[in-house]
């Protein structure tokens, strides 16, 4: 980025906006991060995690302009840009938008069935509503296992598997799509963060009655030369105890834990199944009860205490 860019406004505090804001701030730019929600990464992580991330943004001199919607852009007198929101104005040398995706499927409107946002509906074999026409990737819907419903979740992980399924199923129904948990990860200010499925807020927004268990412990025993905490959240259905989501944050790379819980969601496991799953213990890497199992054990205990 040119040295004459000193002030940056980033609009959208999802994964992409958060990463852009972080990178500009660590390279010495004065950054303002704007979002309509009241916190950063609201769709992926619960407040217990995003509170810590917001503290890291503030320590790095990023202005968080949250709970405000951008209403316009104007040229500023100094040659920069003025961004107006429903709460104020922010001047910068450049503004960057990271405000989400829309499927670019106008070409196919009226020919194949779509969601109202234009995402093409397919069955589990990637067939559209039109015989012999298949669809995959960001143009399509995916089956979202936590809600057992079709949703629009544009990720490379989905696109790659859908592409393989088109090839497998082009001459018949050979392999059905197993759905997605929208498992994802990001690294911000030295925090490794990963998430899978729903958090409490996103579950409640979909009308689900869930409990969120919060657990924090060191990733390995304190008799080792070093260790550091892992903050975990586990979201589960209050009635069925089915695991619906999890998220993790640590200065140690614990991101693969989201893949573990992704499998639990895909296989419709309960907190009881996850609490008794066989995970290894070796003090270089983990506690005798690894933090995923420990979080699930705490969920079982939370469930007992609530009854
Ligand atoms: C900044 C950023 C970071 C991301 N990071 C991640 C990540 O870390 N993990 C993850 O899982 N996902 C990530 N994604 C999402 C990921 O990039 C997409 O989900 C993935 O690329 C979708 O693949 P696709 O083949 O469906 O679409 P694309 O990769 O968008 O490819 C579609 C192609 O079709 C072409 N095209 C479109 N219309 C036409 C037409 N009419 N005629 C001919 N060609 C056409 C386009 O030019 C394009 O080359 C990220 C996305 C962005 C923008």
Neighbours of 226 (CB within 10 A): 8
In sequence order, the 6+-apart residues with CB closer than 8 A to the CB of 259 are: 183, 194, 196
Residue 239 domain-assigned?
Answer: yes
Q: Is 137 in the pocket of ligand 1 (CB under 6 A)?
A: yes
Whether 298 and 189 share a structural domain: yes
Whether 273 and 193 share a structural domain: yes
Q: What are phi and psi of 19, to 5 degrees?
A: -65, -40
pLDDT of residue 116: 93
Q: Is 156 in the pocket of ligand 1 (CB under 6 A)?
A: yes
pLDDT of residue 307: 56
Whether 92 and 141 share a structural domain: no
Residue 174 domain-assigned?
Answer: no
Whether 162 and 226 share a structural domain: no
Q: Is 154 in the pocket of ligand 1 (CB under 6 A)?
A: yes
Residuewise pLDDT in 10s, the chain (307 residues):
667 899 999 999 999 999 999 999 999 999 999 999 999 999 999 999 999 999 999 999 999 999 999 999 999 999 999 999 999 999 999 999 999 989 999 999 999 999 999 999 999 999 999 999 999 999 999 999 999 999 999 999 999 999 999 999 999 999 999 999 999 999 999 999 999 999 999 999 999 999 999 999 999 999 999 999 999 999 999 999 999 999 999 999 999 999 999 999 999 999 999 999 999 999 999 999 999 999 999 999 999 987 5
CA of 127 to the centre of ligand 1 (A): 20
Helical residues (DSSP H) of 170-286, grouped into ranges: 200-205, 256-266, 271-275
CATH code of the domain covering residue 201: 3.30.390.30
**Which one of 42, 67, 97 terminates a domain?**
97
Whether 152 and 257 share a structural domain: no
The boundaries of the domain holding residue 132 are 107-169
- Structure ipTM: 0.96
Residue 232 domain-assigned?
Answer: yes
pLDDT of residue 3: 75
Of 153, 155, 165, 188, the residue with max ligand 1 atoms within 8 A of its CB, to mutate for a pocket test, comes to 155
**E strand or H helix at 193:** strand 191-197
Atom 52 (ligand 1) nearest CA: 16
Residue 257 domain-assigned?
Answer: yes
CA of 296 to the centre of ligand 1 (A): 35
Whether 214 and 274 share a structural domain: yes
Structural domain count, the chain: 3
Question: Cβ distance 261 to 246 under 8 Å?
Answer: yes
CATH code of the domain covering residue 88: 3.50.50.60
CA of 138 to the centre of ligand 1 (A): 6
């Amino acid at each position: 980025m040119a040295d004459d860019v000193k002030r940056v406004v980033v609009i959208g505090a999802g994964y992409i906006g958060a990463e852009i804001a972080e990178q500009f701030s660590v390279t010495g730019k004065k950054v303002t991060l704007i979002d309509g929600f009241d916190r950063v990464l609201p769709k992926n992580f619960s407040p217990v995690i995003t509170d810590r991330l917001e503290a890291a943004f503030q320590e790095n001199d990023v202005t968080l302009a949250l709970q405000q919607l951008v209403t316009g852009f104007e040229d500023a007198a100094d040659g920069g840009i003025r961004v107006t929101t429903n709460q104020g104005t922010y001047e910068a040398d450049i503004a960057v938008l990271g405000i989400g995706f829309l499927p670019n499927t106008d070409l196919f409107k009226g020919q194949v069935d779509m969601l109202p946002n234009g995402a093409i509906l397919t069955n589990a074999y990637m067939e559209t509503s039109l015989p012999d026409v298949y669809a995959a990737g960001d143009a399509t819907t995916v089956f979202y296992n936590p809600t057992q419903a079709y949703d629009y979740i544009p990720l490379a992980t989905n696109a790659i598997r859908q592409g393989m399924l088109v090839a497998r199923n082009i001459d018949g129904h050979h392999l059905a799509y197993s759905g997605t948990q929208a498992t994802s990860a990001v690294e911000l200010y030295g925090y490794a963060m990963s998430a899978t499925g729903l958090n409490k807020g996103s579950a409640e927004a979909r009308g689900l009655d869930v409990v969120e268990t919060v657990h924090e412990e060191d990733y390995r025993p304190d008799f080792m030369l070093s260790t550091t905490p892992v903050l975990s959240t586990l979201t589960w259905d209050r009635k069925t105890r089915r695991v619906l989501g999890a998220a993790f944050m640590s200065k140690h790379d614990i991101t693969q834990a989201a893949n573990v819980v992704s499998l639990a969601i895909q296989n419709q496991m309960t907190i009881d199944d996850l609490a008794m799953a066989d995970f290894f213990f070796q003090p270089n890497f983990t506690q005798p009860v690894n933090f995923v199992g420990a979080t699930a054990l705490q969920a079982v205990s939370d469930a007992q205490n609530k009854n």
